[in-house]
Each structure stands twice: as structure tokens, then as C-alpha cells.
A and B are shown apart, each in its own frame.
Chain A
Amino acid sequence: MNYLLAAYFAAWLIIFLYLTRLEGKVASLKRDLDRIKGGVKGGEE
């Protein structure tokens, strides 16, 4: 039972951490892009 729990916990922890990292990175890059685009538009006006 302990081995089963350890295997599933380890597997889903790896996947969850990776997934969270990717989703966080997408959100952060979208914010950066919006900010840069906003800056470019502001500069053109």
C-alpha cells in the first residue's frame, strides 16, 4: 500500500509541478506581451 501511494504521489507531483510551471509561464508571458504592446502603442501616439 505504501509503495502504491508513493508511486502515485510522486508521479502526480511531478506532473502537477510541471503543469503549474507551464500555466504560470503562459500567464506571465501574456502579461509581458500586453505591457510591451501597450508601451509600443503609447510611444506611437
Chain B
Amino acid sequence: MKRGQKLTALRYIAISSILISLYMIFFLAPTDRYLGIVQKIFYIHFASAIIPYLAFLIVFLASAFYLVKKEIFFDRLALASAEIGLMVDTVLLVTGTIFSKPTWGVWWVWEPRLTTSLIMWLLYFGYLMLRSLSEDRLKAKNLAAVYGIVAFVSVPISFMSIRWWRSVHPILITPNKINLDPSMWLVALSTLAAFALLFAYLLNLKMEILLLEEEIAEIKEEMGDTQ
């Protein structure tokens, strides 16, 4: 199977799984007794919370590997993962803001989880700024790799914030149990799986873009040398 065919297959698998998860959210998941239908925002909010953690973990690992091995593949992987992680993190902040109005009565509250999530978003926005604004390409790659490792500190802080500090944000997963009805948990996991497949597709797509850009730049350089 060619690379293009793999990408197309992944595209249709991701779209199908998203359609299945949407069907499960709106037709199979039970309606919450207290929040009513608005609780269904939770499924997309939950999936868009976990994916950036995964994406930024990939940025962290790929940055570390790049610094050790100096292989361009890891730099490409870190950049692609950071951009998609930031996009999904934007979805998290938007859905969270809309969800908090009917549940907490306000659009935004400066409590630990929301504040640390916003800091995480700003840190990875800074990562992309660093990549795009730096003129020295090699220096930018090395600097971004160090930044990608340091910025990862925000991920465990964001995850643990509701456990470490007093927060109005609910704790879904505790060491002893999951605070969610099993039928809702199944739908949440299927939405997460659909988002993971979408993430995999977008990651491959972004990697393809970076690869094509490098290939074009190389050819242009060669053409410049020969002329």
C-alpha cells in the first residue's frame, strides 16, 4: 500500500469513527438527570482534553529524540504534533467555555484547571511562534526542541491541578473509581477513539506537508546552485 493510499484509508476510517461516535452521543448516550441534554457537550470536551495531552507528550518525546539523534524526522514530528495539539486544545477551551455557562453560570472562572489549560495553550502557541519567527532554521529547530521539552511541564500540572488545588472542575478519574455512568463512559471512550484516529490522520497529513516543503526547498536550492 502506497503512502497516499494509507492516508486516504486513514481519512475514511477517522470520518467513519467520528460519525459513529456522534450517533452514540446523540442517540445512545443517556440524558443526564441534572444537566439534561447540555451534558452531551462533555463527550467532545473530554476527547478534546485528552488528545492535547497525547500530542504534547509526542512533542516532548520527539524533541528529546531530536536533540539526541539530530534526525529531522523527530523535528518534523514535534512540529506537526504541536500544531494539531494546539488546534484540539482550542476546541477544548471553546467547548469548555460554552459548557461552563449553563453548568456554572459563568463563561469563565479563574480556577486551577481552566487557568492551567489556558497557560498550556499559550505555551504551545509560543512554540509555534518560535518556529515561525526564527530566521536561523537550525537554531530554531534546536531551540524549539528545548522549548518543547520544558513546555511539557504544563501538561502534568494541568492534569493534576484539580487534584492539587481546590477546584470547581469535576474529577472524572480517581485512583479507585470513574465518576461516570458506565453507558456514558463507553460513549466517552468511543469519542476519544474517534478523536485519536482523527489526530493520527491530521498528524500524517501535516508530516506530509512538512516533507513536501523540504523536498521543494531542496530542489529549489539545487536549481539555484546549478544556475
A10 touches B213 (CB 8 A): no
The number of residues on chain B lying at the interface, defined by a beta carbon within 8 Å of a beta carbon of chain A, is 29
CB-CB < 8 A to B213: which residues of A?
A: 29
5 cross-chain pairs, A with B, having the tightest CB-CB distances, nearest first? A29-B212, A7-B98, A7-B41, A22-B205, A7-B95
Contact A15/B198 with A26-B205, A26-B208, A29-B213 known, Cβ cut-off 8 Å: yes
Residues of A whose CB lies within 8 Å of any CB of B are 1, 3-4, 6-8, 10-11, 14-15, 18-19, 22-23, 25-26, 29-30, 32-33, 36-37, 40
A3 touches B209 (CB 8 A): no
A14 touches B90 (CB 8 A): yes
Interface majority SS on A: helix, strand, loop or mixed?
helix
**Distance to closest chain B CB from A17 (angstroms):** 9
Please measure, in the bound complex, the distance between the C-alpha atom of A36 and the C-alpha atom of B219, giving whole angstroms: 8
Pick 27 A–B contacts, CB within 8 A, sort by A: A1-B38, A3-B99, A4-B37, A4-B40, A4-B41, A6-B98, A7-B41, A7-B98, A10-B94, A10-B98, A11-B44, A11-B48, A14-B87, A14-B90, A15-B87, A18-B87, A19-B202, A19-B205, A22-B205, A25-B209, A26-B205, A26-B208, A29-B212, A32-B216, A33-B219, A36-B223, A40-B219
